[in-house]
Structure 1
């Protein structure tokens, strides 16, 4: 443990970027929901209440689709304030909302049009598909969304490879286009109002344009501008390697300590694989450093990469940064290779910090010597906590012993999921305010 005198503290941050961004998203969704209801009412109501409910459910299902696209567009302003993991979680739950609203649309429309006929709801759907423009496209879109919803359920998701799930998930874009053309072709809200149709086209232009901008245009432009290449590959231990990436004008790359990139190393056998790795050192305008632990064939091949290899990097991503500080002092808690963004954050943070590094054995403490030197230079306290998972050495009493004023500090946490869940439980027991707890999980959406 290295302990030094505390330096003068910085004033706490008054703004809450996460709250501002979240409130903005809710406001955008609420405003569009109100506009949809207004245009729907202006178009008039059918005499059959079931058809009215079904049409409104279809409109809101499509609105949720557009909102879902915005959540995974990877727009920098949203990503830095909310984080890809939380945006992905919201995307997932919005997806199930889409599934249920579109199911309601199908059921209410089928029973509504079947009233007064002898063919029944299923026969009515078949007749509509055969005689009404766009209905067959809508049924195809619903079938795709149903399949995507099934493979996104937790039970199925855990049993599918990410690449398989992602390939199936891409068909959602086909469903979006099919549903959109169905609505503008036969939706009474749009066929009876040019203003409503103009609004709908504008909404979907923004939603799809956001995806194209965030997922294609911005990554391509940044890689053309910066021309990333591997500068050096440095083994840190038997199963950990650091890769130094250089390029042009890296001082203009808006990367912060704590963020991560999706890295593609453009070799013959790895160009198609994108892996999320955090920066393990604060960006200095000259190089970017990532540090990875061998966890499979893909990461094992990293130590064999050659200097000069071209790199395609998507990012920076993540809200695990100093932007979200609310207190002048901080606690940084790392587990295993989760030390990489913690080490980068320590380099960038101002004010007194306590660093707690949890590992099974001393030899598992990756970058420890580097972290110790940095802690000494920054005037930070460093605690290396070793031992088996049981008993919990980061239980509430242990954390309070290491950091008596933990409730007055920001807490940055990164490590394996079981360790993170345990520490989050300890922080709750210690009544550390939720606004002062900062963590991020790697979670990629299609």
Structure 2
């Protein structure tokens, strides 16, 4: 039996939540750039032009490092409005900017001091590391950052297991500690201004506090409160399984249809591994359900979970929700097992709704019976589109044929990356405004 949750009304505010959050982040960064520049100018310009520019690059690098931490702190307010996928992507590009900024800092400072002493740059760097407090720590931090930046490059990331990449990435926190200790020891603003010292201590305290709150304290508190456990494991077909979970006070868990959790099932062989799975049913305050396809050891092991298994869940995460609706009508486009958040959204949506479900063959249509019954109950249209992945069946012409008023609807797309990209291109060709196209990249590593 399907329990229908009361659907929230589409937002009526003239400014979209994503725009509010994104503008807030830009304004926060710009304001801090202005503050850093002010304190830098106030401290005076000691040294030649290379040293002056190098110090400014170092301060901007410290600011970017703190901003990077904020982007991956997984703060609920930001995540619901922007989404973990976009925040992680911004974190990635900020990281590359950080590497170049700090590399510029090191090169300019080294060449600047070498110009004054007459030493060659390598000898000058060695001399600074040996004689100036904090410089050796900064050199080690920069070396670690270069390694992390290298393994985060797309060509390297594709060749590494997620666990290897993640473990290497944890050294970023060591980089933060080493870099900040260097800044405290040698930064001119720390020496010349009490206000600047207070600013930097506050900046780093807020950035690290946000990470501690979002990634440690909040998950620990929620799991202690809700005490999640597996209640049933139901195979949907030979490759897909649904896991039903219950707990205490789930009506107070701020989860919405379309969101996902990082699920950690506390068995002796899998307790250490967390995997992202979307909710495949709208939260009803009593139970949660995820549906996953066996694509690796972690997802394949779900079939063997036993009722009563304890669960540690981080989340909910994601902006793939009805919070971002702009129109009364909706088009849902799902591909393969990407139907799971789409099925949850269909349960929550009100207004004229069309669902297009793209699969290779009808036997691959996971949860199809549920979708059919739910569509009938809500008066929604359901189109099952079958056929090989190439040539693409969801062309702009096909989308326009199935949904003639597509430009007047919000469109939610979830499926394999190739299908999602093709559908988004098709929607833009049809003139659907970007603000009405909602999608999410389900990738923790950006």
Equivalent position SS for 1:116: helix
Which residue in the other structure is 1:317 paired with? 317
Deviation at 1:444, TM superposition (A): 1.4
Deviation at 1:241, TM superposition (A): 0.5
5 Å-filtered alignment, 1:329-368, equals: 329-368=329-368
- Please say if 1:291 is aligned against 2:291: yes
Equivalent position SS for 2:116: coil
- Please say if 1:439 is aligned against 2:439: yes
Deviation at 1:390, TM superposition (A): 2.4
5 Å-filtered alignment, 1:136-285, equals: 136-285=136-285
Deviation at 1:431, TM superposition (A): 1.4
Deviation at 1:10, TM superposition (A): 7.0
Deviation at 1:445, TM superposition (A): 4.3
Which residue in the other structure is 2:3 paired with? none
Which residue in the other structure is 1:5 paired with? none
Query: Structure 2 unaligned runs (5+)?
Result: 1-8
Counterparts of 1:399 and 1:17, CA distance in 2: 28
Deviation at 1:118, TM superposition (A): 2.8
TM-score, normalised to structure 1, is: 0.97
Residue deviations 1:8-31 (CA, integer Å, cap 9, x gap): x97866340000000000000000
Which residue in the other structure is 1:92 paired with? 92
The structure-2 alpha-carbon separation of the partners of 1:421 and 1:124, relative to structure 1 and needing over 3 Å to count, comes to same
Deviation at 1:441, TM superposition (A): 0.9
Answer whether contact 2:21 2:78 (CA < 8 A) is retained.
yes
Answer whether contact 1:264 1:313 (CA < 8 A) is retained.
yes
Query: Structure 1 unaligned runs (5+)?
Result: 1-8
- Please say if 1:59 is aligned against 2:96: no
Answer whether contact 1:85 1:440 (CA < 8 A) is retained.
yes
Which residue in the other structure is 1:31 paired with? 31
Equivalent position SS for 1:115: helix
Counterparts of 2:263 and 2:399, CA distance in 1: 35
Structure 1 moving runs of 4+ over 4 Å:
9-13
CA RMSD, aligned part only? 1.2
Counterparts of 1:427 and 1:410, CA distance in 2: 11
Which residue in the other structure is 1:110 paired with? 110
Which residue in the other structure is 1:74 paired with? 74
Which protein has greater RCO, CA pairs closer than 8 Å, 6+ apart? 1
Which residue in the other structure is 1:430 paired with? 430
Counterparts of 1:398 and 1:407, CA distance in 2: 14
Counterparts of 2:11 and 2:197, CA distance in 1: 50
**How many matched pairs?**
438
Answer whether contact 2:262 2:277 (CA < 8 A) is retained.
yes
